[in-house]
Structure 1
Amino acid sequence: MNTTACVLALALCGPIASVMPSAKSQATNLEQVDARPMTVAQAAVAPSTTLTAAQATKAAQQLLDALQAKDAAGLYAGLSAPLRSTSSEAAVQDRLNRGPKLNGYRINSISRGIDDTTVEAVALLNGGKQEAPLLLVLDDTGKLVAWKWIGKTLPIEQSAINFVKDLDAERWVAARYYLDLDFQKEIGPQDLKRKWSKLARTLGGVKEIKSALVASQGGDQQLVLVTIQFGKVTDNLFVIFNRDGRIINVDFSADLV
């Protein structure tokens, strides 16, 4: 779910190793790809991203190939325009140089959403003996909007997850706790109930709140994407925080609610 109020940014200068999970297992098939096609139920949800599963797979492979080859130009070219405007090839190369060596990867799933696509992948390290799961979010053109290594949750990501969990549990008053005071004045418990209930009902109900990833952090507007598996589609809820970690906007998708 997209919103024009979001300013997307990616902290490309942070060390990859500092957020790398340590789970180990033996690599199997590096070419395994589960590009899940849209079901009839998913097709009934409108609007839907124009990026096909095959296109998303190709885009993810190009990004992961660039990461494996430490190809800064290739990785930079795969970023969405807002991300490119906040970084440079030199910054990307610096991060790649300080990061671990990838021995391969596999893409486990492609989930097409309302206007973005979530890719679940696994990077193979240490000669294939260590696996590091990661999540990529692509826009309608296949460019990278946000990504994270799975296994470490930042405080702002946990706040976004807790907020969505309260919504899913119909704890409307508790959910408003995470809102900035001015935003609380704009949206009451009944407003949250109406918007969330219609969104969840339209998309087939919540099956799993899967993860949260920061797309922009540290500024006046901080963007967190919460990946949610609904009955009809897996999509990302855009939650915007202020500098103090309070929610100042939520994109419930005007097309649906």
Structure 2
Amino acid sequence: MRSSLRPGQPGWLSICRAAIHRTAVHRTAIRRTAIRRTGSQVLALALVLGAPAGGLIGRAVQAAPATASPGVTGTSALKPAAAAAGPLSVDEARAAAERILKAVQTKDPNLRFAQFSPELQAISSPAMVADTMRTQPDLLGWTLLSVRGGLSSTTVEASLRTSDGVRDLFMVLDPQGRLTGYHFDLTDAQSSRVAADFVRELSRGHFISARSYLALPLQEELTPATLQAKWQQLQRSTGNFVKVVRVIEASRSEDSQLVLVNTEFNRVTDNLFVILNTNNEITGVDFPKDPNPPQPASAPAR
């Protein structure tokens, strides 16, 4: 049985009120239960997924090609759409994962972008991928582990050897072998750090990277564009993001924990609620529906 820390259960709002000493909380919640473990300390080798930097984008980003690179552009290596009615076979999934990781290793932004699903391409571009690649650790090698098929997607687990150490990665592939989502193992990270980094990625406009902190079942419900829209809606009430003020691990149960990310915006400072499971996968996010009103300015000194 899940704890009352999940939004939508009877004790949820009372716990939240007590945690931040507020008398009323009206929030729109996004939630779902999590799958399995997912750990390490990564902030995103991020499969070098590019996303719009600095602020919000009001519409889908048009893909502008980066500097041309020799060789295959990527689309010819994907499984033909007509032949894909369901999840990939084990061999197809492993081959697609190899292609994806090879593109990460060679730091080819055009090839990486061509391997994205249409949903990811709509919010990224080869130029953004190239910009992200310049800040990421080198991928030295990898070992493919499990392959798990779903109704219309396939998840491949891999152990990556990078210049920053070993990281476990889960890649979600569509029936054409394109990347639709990913998740790093963050079990050994601090839950407060995971929650704060998630909010910071949102604030930078890195909605693909922000989505990688969500548990995979929640990723199935929330596309990067959905996260973008929710963040934009929040900032229409709060003003633009300024900084994360503090992070509080407010409540913990046997299988869930609540982290409050106290966040300063231009107009107000309010708490964003982040719910994580014991593997530090984000299983729920609560943005304030009615943020705290702006506080009056101090009276001028006489």
**TM-score of the two chains, using structure 2 as the length reference:** 0.39
Which protein shows a greater Rg?
A: 2
